[in-house]
Structure 1
Amino acid sequence: MIQILITDEIIRKHEEFVFGENAIDENRLLRKIKVAYENQNNKYARNVYRYILDNIREIILGDIETLTKKKQIYSYLVKSIPNKEVMERLIEDLKIFHKEYKYFYKSKGWNAYLYQKALGINICPYCATQFIFLYNSDNGNTRGTFDHFIDKAKYPIFSVSLFNLIPSCKVCNSDFKGSKEANITNNYTPFEENIIDYMIFKRDIIQNQDEEISPTTVVDIKKEDKDEIDFVSMFLGMNEDFNIKIDYSDAPSDIALKIKGNLELFHIEEIYNAYHKGYVQDSIRKAYLYNLTYRNQLLHSFSQFFQSEEELRMAIMPSVEDDRKNILGKLTRDIIYQETNGFTL
């Protein structure tokens, strides 16, 4: 629900982390891989190490499409090992990537905290409903958990791959995704550009109570049975006779498949309907409060505060850039925009 950008500076720092001074340190990843290759006698296992060494830069710095291609070849090479014992030992030995990931937690110069800070995100990019606070001091520390889009347990060589490290909340990362295997055909990562542009939050009128998106698998919320829907109250934001839906009908088929996959994987609509209908009601009331006449009055009465229509718009509606810092930014923007007919002055 939030797009985040890996800048050239972030890539440079992560590259230095693996291929700089650490490259010759016997306790660090690159040197360990070379030693393991040199000491490996089984030709099939040596092929795996040789592939890793030949492609290590792309494994560490490649985008998710590149990593997916590397994953397929890596899997083929591992599965080609005829001796099961050799295969299992190799997979166990490749957990040196896991150790490097743990080293990345708090290594000097470049680490998990500095990475999240460089991304400039304090909100889970998957759900946009949870803070992933960033705080690091001698008295305590916290940050977002890292989702490995390509599962690091099954594919350890991608444990410290930059585009495979997605700051996220515990609910999305551990409770919902867990060890489920995502892929670039059926899911998207927050690093992929423009996908969220195809996703629009909408308020969908419930014609009868059977149509309500039930959050019973998430929380135990029960509503009193009603004989009919009060449409006037619903439109004015006075009741919850609506579903929060995410419309992606204008998305190309390949992108629509990715969006559908993420909505299901992270239970997005269920979570929003369980916890954020009240927030939508407040947004609707604000939309009516900031009607056209009132907005024009604000613009002319407080010209010292609002130099233009755009400044007034920014004061009322959260910007896309603010989504990385504030929860429910896109939900707020989409609902208010619809309720104010595009927020035109």
Structure 2
Amino acid sequence: MIRSPHSAISLDKMALAFEKDISAEFTIKALLAAWPPDELKPVMTYLHDNLHGILTDRPAELEDHIGRLQPLIDQAKADYLAAGHAMLNPKTGAVITNPASIQTYLKNWVNKSIRAIFNYDNDNQSFISKDSGRLAYRHARHLKVDSCPYCNANFTFTIKNKRMKCRPQFDHFLNKGRHPYLALSFFNLIPSCALCNSGALKGSKPFSITTHVHPFLNDMEGLYNFRADVDAVDFLVNGDDFTLVLKPCKGISSAQYKKAQQNIKAFGLDDRYSYHKDIASDVIKKAYFYNKSTVEALFTSFQIGNENIFKSESEIKELILGNYMHPDNFHKRILSKLTKDIAEEFGLTI
């Protein structure tokens, strides 16, 4: 997982701008205030009183809201059940009596009510659909993340013109099916590729900042590195094969190790990156052939007049490798972390 192009402070400012955008497009606060005095009223009152935080708080605070809301939601379900409301199967119209089906009905009742207010994808007036997806495209464009922060293996460009349109999907780090009131929370909308956001990988798996690495505030740099674990001569001369692996960095704590491992597992990074050995092979060759003295010679040789074409040796190294080598730029191009890590392993560092 790669580093966000924005600092935490910048993200906080972006969250405030996002809140203004959402408030101008949706009447969330008014809908919450106008909720009738039924079993869900305490839940809606909490959401009304804490709407600013729900939309703009960082992940830790969002999880605090979950902790405060869950007892209110549980009580609303209990009150609904005690009130004797008719619970009918939406397909058959029959009265639901099975305990498990009753709990499913109550969950759907709560979620449907909240989803209609925090309208991410509920209808054609939702965040992702309104005005041909204008809000979602604008939000993706503001974030400026061109490769998936979870895998760095797929591009997430935002393009919208007369000929075509595409944008990243938005993964809800804290699952919107379990927590529909976080469906429009700035820090819960992670631009991602379709594969990482698919049911085959993350899908609806439960995530938390205590168990997983959050891409807006953390990254894998300093936690895990890609490694080939092969000697350059053995690979280049003897043709030895290698296995591309993700290895924990020295000094990583047990808690960091577990969280990083959860991300690696959830997004299938070991399996997916095993198909990029060809890229790693090219990087090994380039790192070996373009050693320190070669890079220095290139830096001093290429001039126009008395001015160097290249600003630094690091620029030459990135040109050689065809990718960025600084973590701050990983979001601009796919496979940049892999490229940097393998180059580093074989002595080509910035």
TM-score interval (norm. to shorter): 0.7 to 0.9
* The one of 158, 177, 186 aligned to 2:182: 158
- In structure 1, what is the equivalent of residue 112 of structure 2? 92
Q: Confirm or deny that 1:128 pairs with 2:152.
A: yes
Match of 2:38 among 41, 55, 69: 41
The question of 1:51 aligning with 2:46 is answered yes
Q: Deviations over 1:20-58 (max 9, x none)?
A: x446xxxx322222222xx1333xx22111111111111
Aligned to 1:17: 21
TM-score normalised over the length of structure 1:
0.81
The partner residue of 2:128 within 91, 101, 105 is 105
* 2:28 alignment partner AA: L
Q: 2:330 aligns with which of 306, 320, 323?
A: 323
State yes or no: 1:312 paired with 2:327. Answer: no
Q: Normalized against structure 2, the TM-score is what?
A: 0.79
Contact between 1:10 and 1:115, CA under 8 Å: does it hold in 2? no
Q: Deviations over 1:278-308 (max 9, x none)?
A: 1100100111120123222212211421344
SS at match of 2:191: strand
Stretches of structure 2 that go unaligned for 5 or more consecutive residues are 86-105
Higher relative contact order (CA 8 A, sep 6+): 2
Residues 110 and 15 (structure 1), Cα distance of their counterparts in 2 relative to 1, 3 Å cut = farther
Rounded Cα–Cα distance in structure 2 between residues aligned with 1:264 and 1:74 = 30
Counterparts of 1:249 and 1:261, CA distance in 2: 18
Partner amino acid for 1:299?
A: F
Instruction: Indicate conservation of the 8 Å contact 2:148/2:154, yes or no.
Output: yes
Residue in 2 that maps onto 1:254: 255
Q: The residue matched to 2:171 in structure 1 has which SS?
A: strand
* Residue equivalent to 2:344: 337
Q: Is the 8 A contact 1:134 1:143 kept in 2?
A: yes
Amino acid at match of 2:272: I
Match of 1:197 among 195, 209, 222: 222
**Is 1:288 equivalent to 2:288 in the alignment?**
yes
Does 1:178 pair with 2:178? Answer: no
Change (3 A) 1:159 1:308: closer
Determine the C-alpha separation between the residues in 2 that align with 1:40 and 1:263.
46
Deviation track 1:52-88 (CA, whole Å, cap 9, x = no partner) reads: 1111111110011011111122122111231455744
Q: CA deviation at 1:158?
A: 0.3
Alignment of 1:191-270 (within 5 A): 191-193=216-218, 195-205=220-230, 232-234=233-235, 238=239, 240-270=241-271
| Closer/same/farther in 2, CA of residues 10 and 76 from structure 1, 3 Å limit | same
Question: In the alignment, residue 38 of structure 2 is paired with which amino acid?
Answer: N
Correspondence for 2:140 among 116, 119, 127: 116
Secondary structure of the residue that 1:337 maps to in structure 2?
helix
Counterparts of 1:2 and 1:40, CA distance in 2: 46
User: CA separation in 2, counterparts of 1:247 and 1:290?
Assistant: 27
- RMSD (CA atoms): 2.6
CA-CA distance at 1:338 after TM superposition: 1.8
Q: Is 1:31 matched with 2:30? A: yes
Percent identity over the alignment is 27
Matching residue's letter, 1:300: T
In structure 1, the residue corresponding to 2:197 is in which secondary structure? helix
Residue 98 and residue 240 in structure 1: after superposition, are their counterparts in 2 closer, same or farther (change >3 A)?
farther
Counting matched residue pairs gives 309
The one-letter code of the counterpart of 1:35 is: A
Distance 1:236-1:288 versus aligned 2 partners, 3 A rule = farther
Give the 3 Å change call, closer, same or farther, for CA 193–67 of structure 1 in structure 2.
same
**Which residue number in structure 2 is paired with residue 225 of structure 1?**
none
SS in structure 2 at match of 1:171: coil
- Structure-1 separation of matches of 2:328 and 2:214: 18
